[in-house]
Structure 1
Amino acid sequence: METRLNGKRLSGASLLIFANKQDIQGSLSPDEIAKVLNLEAMDKSRHWRIVGCSAYTGEGLLEGFDWLVQDIASRIYMLD
């Protein structure tokens, strides 16, 4: 999986991972998911974030999409 996440075609892309089912006991935390995916080893220029959420309650969904919009917007304005 590391190869695909670090692929040249994705260079500069924002990566948002929703860690769903956080309302269920025993689900992996965002930090645990980051370790499993080895995201800390990813190229430091790559922007990524894991947001814990529950599609059932809606918790975390706005936070994740807000981060994504802000991250993309910050780089669009840098290109001007």
Structure 2
Amino acid sequence: MTCRYELHNLLKEERLSGASLLTFANKQDIQGALSPDEIAKVLNLEAMDNSRHWRIVGCSAYTGDGLLEGFDWLVQDVAS
């Protein structure tokens, strides 16, 4: 999968070492949308080393659900 390949190559960049990765899984209000767990599997995020902090948050840009949760996680992760 091209997206997975490009993401893993990008995250190997030395200048991004230690950077947090927040992914919003948009359109969760639409039936058939991939769940955050399914997206993590497709992107093979479990294969990343444990030094990388990442999270996929289900959201809906239409309703706003999940957006604050994602940004809260990012702020807390960067602060720690």
**Fold shared by both chains (TM-score > 0.5):** yes
Answering whether residue 63 of structure 2 is matched by residue 53 of structure 1, we say no
Question: How far is 1:8 from its partner?
Answer: 1.6
Instruction: Please list the CA deviations of residues 14-68 of structure 1 after superposition, one character each: whole Å capped at 9, or x if unmatched.
Output: 1000000000011111011111111101121001000000000000000000000
Deviation of 1:6 (Å)? 2.7
Bigger radius of gyration among the two: 1
Q: Aligned-pair distance for 1:5?
A: 2.1
Aligned twin of 1:65? 71
How much is the aligned-residue C-alpha RMSD, in angstroms? 0.8
Secondary structure of 1:43's match?
coil
TM-score by length of 1: 0.88
Deviation for aligned residue 1:4? 1.2
Percent of residue pairs bearing the same amino acid type: 84
Question: Secondary structure, in 3 states, of the residue corresponding to 2:55?
Answer: strand
The alignment covers a number of residue pairs equal to 74
Unaligned runs of 5+ in 1: 75-80
Tell me which residue corresponds to 2:49: 43
Q: TM-score, normalised by structure 2?
A: 0.88
What residue in structure 2 maps to residue 6 of structure 1? 12
Runs of 4+ off more than 4 Å: none
1:24 maps to what in 2?
Answer: 30
